[in-house]
């Protein structure tokens, strides 16, 4: 089994991105700017946001975190987003999900200017993506496609199964695989005989958000397994991360697999940086063509 090493591929992409951001700065004297809005004190979100800021700095993106209390009102959050929409130094604006249950995420996201939406989550950007005209692609699926590219994994004609249908991962993943000429099945919590379906797949993307949902017996021998799950857990008094897939079971059973941590996670963060840069380029182009 070959490990799809997200840390390695992400580092390679960031090295190239840093070079592109440098030359963009030389030409335009503009530093790409990213703001992450963090509502509440979800510990996992705090860790992810710190990672995003640290990596942004490494590649030359100016980033800041706006922390708001978990009982922030919808109106206050909306006003914060609208202020950032009109700030010319900010090219990408990410509202870290999940939001506290008192806030409906779709209603919040709807206030982000689609030109500043690095998650590709606004309705406009989702429509553009489905019609093949995306400004940027959603970070996790785009990162997974980069992993396939790096390891020369061809998708044409493959039977692909996506487990999970979230707007941020499952649905756009299915769409990108379809565009790459795979034959795609999307499974979800109401799917009957999941194992029977995954066992027939050449490629499985596990994005169900359920720890250990799939193991060795759910894959065919040479399957490619991509694990999007991130679950914080404790084993032998140690805090560790686990995925939707029982990675330890796979060993030589499948042909490729992503570990957790070190697989999809670093790719997602890196694609956020890549998207921030792309949005800065688009904003600059439209300004010079105005």
| Shortest separation between residue 139's beta carbon and ligand GUN, angstroms | 5
Q: Does 198 bind ligand GUN (CB under 6 A)?
A: no
Between the alpha carbon of residue 208 and those of residues 154, 170, 172, 197, 285, the distances in Å are: 24, 8, 14, 15, 38
**C-alpha–C-alpha distance, residues 164 and 7, integer Å:** 24
Give Rg (Cα) of the chain.
19
> Do the Cβ atoms of 92 and 118 come closer than 8 Å?
yes
Q: Please tell me which residue in 11, 27, 46, 52 is annotated as part of the active site.
A: 52
Which residue has the CB atom at the shortest distance from ligand GUN? 97
Q: Is 224 exposed, middle or buried (0-12, 13-18, 19+ CB in 10 A)?
A: buried
Residue closer to ligand GUN (CB basis): 185 or 268: 268
Would residue 20 show up in a list of annotated catalytic residues for this protein?
Answer: no
Q: Does 254 bind ligand GUN (CB under 6 A)?
A: no
Q: Does 270 bind ligand GUN (CB under 6 A)?
A: no
Residue closer to ligand GUN (CB basis): 78 or 199: 78
* Among candidate residues 179, 183, 181, the one with its CA nearest the CA of residue 132: 179
Q: Which of residues 31-90 bind ligand GUN (CB under 6 A)?
A: 48
Residue closer to ligand GUN (CB basis): 63 or 140: 140
Q: Does 10 bind ligand GUN (CB under 6 A)?
A: no
**C-alpha–C-alpha distance, residues 230 and 198, integer Å:** 20
The count of other CB atoms within 10 Å of the CB of residue 75 is 8
Of 63, 96, 125, 276, which one interacts with ligand GUN (CB under 6 A)? Answer: 96
Q: Please tell me which residue in 116, 117, 119, 218 is annotated as part of the active site.
A: 119
Q: Does 120 bind ligand GUN (CB under 6 A)?
A: no
Q: Annotated active-site positions, please?
A: 52, 96, 119
Binding site for ligand GUN (CB under 6 A): 48, 94-97, 119, 139-140, 268
């Amino acid at each position: 089994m070959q490990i799809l090493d997200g840390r390695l591929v992400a580092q390679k992409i960031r090295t190239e991105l840093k070079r592109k951001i440098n030359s963009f700065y030389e030409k335009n004297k503009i530093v790409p700017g990213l703001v992450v809005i963090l509502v509440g004190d979800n510990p996992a979100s705090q860790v992810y946001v710190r990672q995003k800021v640290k990596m942004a700095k490494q590649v030359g993106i100016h980033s800041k975190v706006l922390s708001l209390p978990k009982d922030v009102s919808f109106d206050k959050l909306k006003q914060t987003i609208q202020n950032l929409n009109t700030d010319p130094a900010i090219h990408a604006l990410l509202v870290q999900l999940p939001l506290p249950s008192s806030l409906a995420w779709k209603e919040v996201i709807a206030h982000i200017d689609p030109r500043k939406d690095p998650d590709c989550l606004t309705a406009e950007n989702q429509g553009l993506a489905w019609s093949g005209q995306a400004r940027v692609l959603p970070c996790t699926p785009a990162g997974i496609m980069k992993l396939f590219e790096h390891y020369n994994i061809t998708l044409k004609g493959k039977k692909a199964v996506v487990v999970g249908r979230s707007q941020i991962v499952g649905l756009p993943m299915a769409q990108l695989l379809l565009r790459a000429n795979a034959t795609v099945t999307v499974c979800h919590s109401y799917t009957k005989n999941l194992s029977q379906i995954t066992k027939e797949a050449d490629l499985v993307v596990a994005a169900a958000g359920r720890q250990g949902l799939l193991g060795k017996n759910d894959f065919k021998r040479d399957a490619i397994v991509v694990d999007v799950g991130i679950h914080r857990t404790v084993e032998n008094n140690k805090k560790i991360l686990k995925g939707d897939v029982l990675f330890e079971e796979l060993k030589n059973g499948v042909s490729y697999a992503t570990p957790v941590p070190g697989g999809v996670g670093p790719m997602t963060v890196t694609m956020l940086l890549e998207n921030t840069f792309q949005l800065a380029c688009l904003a600059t182009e439209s300004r010079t063509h105005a």
